[in-house]
Amino acid sequence: MRRFYAILIAAALVYMLISFISTVPSYGKADLKERVSDAFLSKSVNAQNTKAWMEGKAIHRQPAKEIYGKKVKEEGSANVVTSIVVNYRSFDTLGEVTVLFTAALGVGLILGGSRRKQYGREANFVLKTSTGILVPLIIMFGAYIFVHGHLTPGGGFPGGTIIAMASLLLYLSDEKFFLSKASTGALEGSMGGTYVIIGLLGLAIGGYFLYNFLPNGVVGNLVSAGIVPLVYVAIGLKVGAELSGLVTDLHSEKEG
């Protein structure tokens, strides 16, 4: 009876996975017009026949980059959520990063140690072999999520978490694997510093902390949206190193 229920639940989950995922547009086929307005895509909110431009009839003039005398901050990012999170609420994101840092610090203080904890059991063959295949793919996927944060759904936090999952997989499959505190700490600290330095550069150039001072580029290009990719690379590496350090703390024990 238990087995019957297990098969039923697994079948329901797989059915849901397939049917929900099939509603997502396939790669490169997403209709941007569904997510953002025509004026956003043609990068002019002021004076242009945007509908004609979308259909390829009107010539794209250099848009006036201002709304009420202000630079249009969200115009360079194809993913509007990212644009709001990094352009308007970047200070909020800095606060979230700080909260995560404090949480990881607490875990490190309570559980941290300088030695890998030995469980005295070998991981089985399937886990070991599949880890070798999966870990590079998982790290690449995590990096993709934060590098393309301004184009596709995702961003620094999920990308960093996915990278930390790769290190968790390594910890589970290998009894000797141990990330040194120095490496994760150095990456985390330098990337957190980079984020603040980008913010201070914005303060120096634009007059606001975390001001988007770089040119916006073309919507949909990899190098676009000003500082958004830079900030997301910094956040992604910081969160990845931080959570890898947290996983390390969970799998370590104190000397003696």
Partner 1 sequence: MMNYLIILAGAMMIIAAVFAVEAKKILDAVIAMSVVSLVSVFLFIAMRAPDVAITEASVGAGLVTAVFLVSLFKMKGGDEQ
Task: Catalog residues that contact partner 1 under the rule CB under 8 A.
Answer: 12-13, 16-17, 19-21, 23-24, 79, 81-82, 111, 145, 153-155, 157-158, 161-162, 164-165, 168, 243, 246-247, 250-251
CA distance 43 to 72: 9
Nearer to partner 1, 166 or 198 (CB): 166
Name the β-bridge partners of 115: 253
Q: Is the separation of the CB atoms in 76 and 222 below 8 Å?
A: no
The residue with tokens 């934060």 is 146
What tokens appear for 52 in the block?
Answer: 């004609």
Sort 105 into a burial class: Cβ within 10 Å, 0-12 / 13-18 / 19+: middle
Nearer to partner 1, 48 or 87 (CB): 87
CA distance 110 to 246: 11
Nearer to partner 1, 61 or 254 (CB): 254
CB of 187 to partner 1, least distance (A): 18
CB of 193 to partner 1, least distance (A): 24
What tokens appear for 99 in the block?
Answer: 């909260």
Buried b (16+ CB within 10 A) or exposed e, 135-174: beebbebbbebbbbbbbeebbbbbbbbbbbbbbbbbbbbe
Nearer to partner 1, 214 or 243 (CB): 243
Q: What contacts 42, CB < 8 A, 6 or more positions away? A: 48, 50, 53, 54, 60, 63
CB of 204 to partner 1, least distance (A): 31
Comparing CA positions, the residue from 162, 155, 157 lying closest to residue 139 is: 162
Tell me if residue 71 falls in helix, strand or coil: strand
CB of 111 to partner 1, least distance (A): 8
Nearer to partner 1, 45 or 127 (CB): 127
Nearer to partner 1, 164 or 241 (CB): 164
Q: Is the separation of the CB atoms in 32 and 41 below 8 Å?
A: yes
Nearer to partner 1, 70 or 121 (CB): 121
CB of 37 to partner 1, least distance (A): 16
